[in-house]
Amino acid sequence: MSPKALRNFFIFFVVLVLIDVYAYKGVNTAFANHSLVLRRIIRFVYWIISIGILGVLVWTVFNMQGQQNRRDHSYVFSLVALFLLFFLPKLVIVIFHGLDDLLHLGRLLWHKLLPGSSSGTGETLDRANFLSQLGLIVAAVPFAGVLYGVTKGRRSFNVSRTAIRSSNLPEAFNGLRIIQISDMHLGSYGDDLSIVQRGVELINAEEPDLILFTGDMVNDYADEAERFVPILAGLKARSGKFSILGNHDYSDYVQWDSPQEKSANLEKLKSIHKEMGFRLLLDEHLSIEREGQHIGLLGVQNWGRRFQQYGDLGKAIRGTEVFPFRILMSHDPTHWEEQVLGTGVDLTLSGHTHGAQLGVKINGEEYSPAQWVYKHWAGLYNEGSQNLYVNRGFGFIGFPGRVGMPPEISVLELERA
């Protein structure tokens, strides 16, 4: 670890310890009126957990190179989940106990400035204690959310159903069922194959005509996908399975010993797509035939406003004017607003945002931090005769869970308007 990185980690660690200390002060205040035995048990459990997590964090940071060599993301992501599980509630406790202390300080100053004022309220529970106890209750919300996200949330697939209507659609394709999946991030699952297997079963149960995968098969390394080849090869679609690459598939986020090694990794991933039965589209198009009629299917390499811009839309779209209806697979939804609008492409399928893996639905409206970053972040969008569907993602990365934003299997049914 470089001296600068070591210094930054030391500052981060000190901040964590200070948060721990102050959060414990809030917990201790909340239980001030309880028995000494209970408070000692709480103190023991609190610090055993806190010291344990901090110790694992230190060990991981100083052994990070070993984790990279193993190409194992699941360990680090599990640590992220463990950290968030206990850190987020502590932040809530710190906020409420901070208000507690501010009110207490204000009351002291008030009595010092106005010594003749009343010094008692007659209440059995003062306001400061109430705020600390309220903070402890509210802190249970992020704890429960993170716990749900990493245990059940990432396994509970949402099979969404959306009709795509267009007057350009040939009559033979009316009712065509497309399943879109995106952002598998297979390196995030570790040795757990069950989630992907469950997703495959749900997809096959829909008996789709087409399966379209819109990028990010892996986190960084082609090796991550190898153990899943037999499972994903079991995906079945009457008219074929097609795929593109996402920003993570190029392995730009890790250091390689040589450009040749990095290139070999990408070539291996391309061959894995083939083993799984996917026809990988790299800035190209092909024809989908049904009852003698045709539509165009286009696929571009990753192109994003803030990410890699490898894709060549012009190359992919050239010669597709003969198709009355065209579907474009492009991983990053910012590509739609930057280049695709105005081309006449009828339907663009994207992913990439994951819906931030976090969301909430209020009065039928869905909200997520993803909308602070992306104008088009989940679901169906229209502009004129052009449509964009953004899939919320099949897998996860970073935080190994999903809260209020379940993994999505998109069932898109084409309808002639």
Please say whether the beta carbons of 81 and 400 come within 8 A.
Answer: yes
Task: State the residue for tokens 């790299």.
Answer: 282
Spatial distance between the Cα atoms of 158 and 202, rounded to a whole number of angstroms: 10
Question: What does the pLDDT read at residue 115?
Answer: 63
Delimit the domains of the chain by residue range.
3-150, 158-416
Spatial distance between the Cα atoms of 103 and 128, rounded to a whole number of angstroms: 7
Other Cβ atoms less than 10 A from the Cβ of 149: the count is 24
Alpha helices, DSSP H, located in 31-113:
36-62, 64-70, 74-113
Please say whether the beta carbons of 75 and 129 come within 8 A.
Answer: no
Residues facing residue 295 across a β-bridge: 288
List phi, psi (to 5°) of 226.
-60, -45
Tens of pLDDT, residue by residue over 134-192, are: 989 999 999 999 999 999 999 999 999 999 999 999 999 999 999 999 999 999 998 89
CATH of domain 158-416: 3.60.21.10
Residues facing residue 164 across a β-bridge: 414
Please say whether the beta carbons of 411 and 211 come within 8 A.
Answer: no
> Which 3 state secondary structure label does DSSP give 393?
coil
Q: 352 is written with which tokens?
A: 């990439």
Q: Which residues of 360-393 are buried (b: 16+ CB within 10 A; e: fewer)?
A: eeeeeebebebbeebebbbbbbeeeebbbbbbbb
Residues of the chain with pLDDT under 50: 67, 119-127
Q: 162 is written with which tokens?
A: 């959306």
